[in-house]
Amino acid sequence: MMNTPHYPHPIIAREGWPFLAGSILIAVLVSFWSLGWSIFFWVIAAFVLQFFRDPARSGSTEPLAVLSPADGRIVVVEQTLDPYGERQALKISVFMNVFNVHSNRSPVDGEVLKTQYFSGKFFNAALDKASLENERNAMVVRTPAGHLVTAVQVAGLVAKRILCYTKAGNTLARGQRYGFIRFGSRVDVYLPLGSRARVAIGDKVSATSTVLADLPASTS
């Protein structure tokens, strides 16, 4: 189930290669001029390196498990309207700060029914209003069992680029990389009513490794 464009695990996300190369080049050049000043630029290069790290992950094989699409902290667990799937749903939101891995991974196996991009503002992604007012990209997936799962990449205060590599008709496997958000953001996941949350507000989660919830046994 992997006909969505993807890439071999690179350790450092490909989205960061230009930034890392540029920061290292500047640090090297400054080192020739002043070792003291170069420390500042090497610190910047180290920050860029940690921001764009993309570690390999493995996750649960339980058929109804929904895996976290991102690293970060849980900021929302509530029943609300899924405006993209047009239904009531269980919403779980993961907030990513600049020290988290920002590679986004599919929470479930399934077929992508649609993706939709929305331009918007750049409020702090930890705020509730960011879900509907910030720049964002929504993806609705139908699992093999018929469950609808929506994952929404939401830009944050300093995030300026949302990248999504999938489109309607593609299939995704749980844990497969499908996007990236640069410099602070969140991912909202909307699940069918009857899903059982396995995380709580304040919990720290890891993409793919953490199970966010269990889908209901039936789609009826």
Catalytic sites, residue numbers: 185
Give the span between the Cα atoms of 91 and 25, in whole angstroms. Answer: 43
Give the span between the Cα atoms of 154 and 214, in whole angstroms. Answer: 23
Contact by Cβ (8 Å): 2, 177: no
What is the tally of helices (H) and strands (E) in the chain?
A: 3, 16
Please state the length of the chain: 220
C-alpha of 176 from chain center: 11
**CA neighbours within 13 Å on the CB side: how many for 98?**
11
31, burial (CB in 10 Å: exposed 0-12, middle 13-18, buried 19+): middle
Which residues, other chains included, contact 14 with Cβ-Cβ below 8 Å and sequence gap of 6+? 7
- Amino acid making up residue 37: W
Name the H helices within 86-176. Answer: 130-133
Give the span between the Cα atoms of 212 and 189, in whole angstroms. Answer: 9
Measured in degrees and rounded to the nearest 5, phi and psi for residue 22 equal: -65, -45
